[in-house]
Amino acid sequence: MREKLGEINNLNPEQIICGAGSDEILELIAYAYCGEGDEVIYTQHGFLVYPIAAMSAGAKPIAVAEKNLTADVDTILAAVNERTRIVMLANPNNPTGTYISGAELKRLRADLREDILLVIDNAYAECVTADDYDMGYDLADAAPNTIITRTFSKMYGIPALRVGWGYAAPEIIDILNRIRPPFNLTTLGQVGACAALDDVEFMQKSVAHNTKWREWLSAELRGLGCEVPPSQGNFVLAKFADANAVFEKLRANDIIVREMGGYGLPEYLRISIGLEADMKKLVALLGE
């Protein structure tokens, strides 16, 4: 699987680690690089696995404010102190769908201390259409202080097989492999992931479909009066006057969206992009 990932992404297979979803890679990073008395920085509405991983390793998670539901490099840097060991950044972010540019990503890495590990979580990379997006592989190649995580749980559509991976300098991969469970991936997961990588046509169709209906849904929701931040994921985040009532109305009509109270966004719902009929049914219900 590492050889296949290296071939597809033009990366050195020896610098790749595989995990039971990218969640496991994030947990291994926390166990390896932080502990009691340390701090892990993430953004205010960042993926909830970040604080969970930090606390499981005994460290303190530090949530920093976002600007317009988007990570802000200056705010992240201002939160750094002598206890900071890791910065975890989802780009694009779940659940907001927002992202920072490649230039801002490079600025963040350049202005962090060299002994702080930057974790760039690219779970939704396949969804991105922005021209200034950068996955950060060159940052991982430049020094042993950056790691990129990826997953097959989103646009590849095989979350139940639990397959993720990470890319970093050999020193980081060596450390993570020392604590990685030796049988963390199933054979079925590896075969499924490799088959998914080979099916380029399906991925292209999926990306085109996601892009079309993500933009359509965003426009329809704004037309109904919802605030919708521009999304680079396979979902949109929408603000409602009464998100709970909308959630229950949709669920009663066999459409399940994601409540956002756990992310500190109780007035929002996260809506995944579905098939054309699903999208039109959703908008019709919301229109009511």
The CATH class of 201-287 is: alpha beta
Please list the residue range(s) of the chain that carry CATH number 3.40.640.10. Answer: 2-198
- Under the banding of pLDDT at 50, 70 and 90, the label for residue 31 is very high
Query: What is the architecture, at CATH level 2, of domain 2-198?
Result: 3-Layer(aba) Sandwich (3.40)
CA distance 155 to 214: 13
CA distance 12 to 2: 9
Please list the residue range(s) of the chain that carry CATH number 3.90.1150.10. Answer: 201-287
CB atoms under 10 Å from CB of 276, counted, come to 11
pLDDT of the residue at 46: 93
pLDDT of the residue at 157: 87
Task: Give pLDDT tens digits for 184-229.
Answer: 999 999 999 999 999 999 999 999 999 999 999 999 999 999 999 9
**pLDDT at 259 exceeding the cut of 90:** yes
CA distance 111 to 122: 21
Mean pLDDT estimate for the chain? 96
CA distance 279 to 54: 37
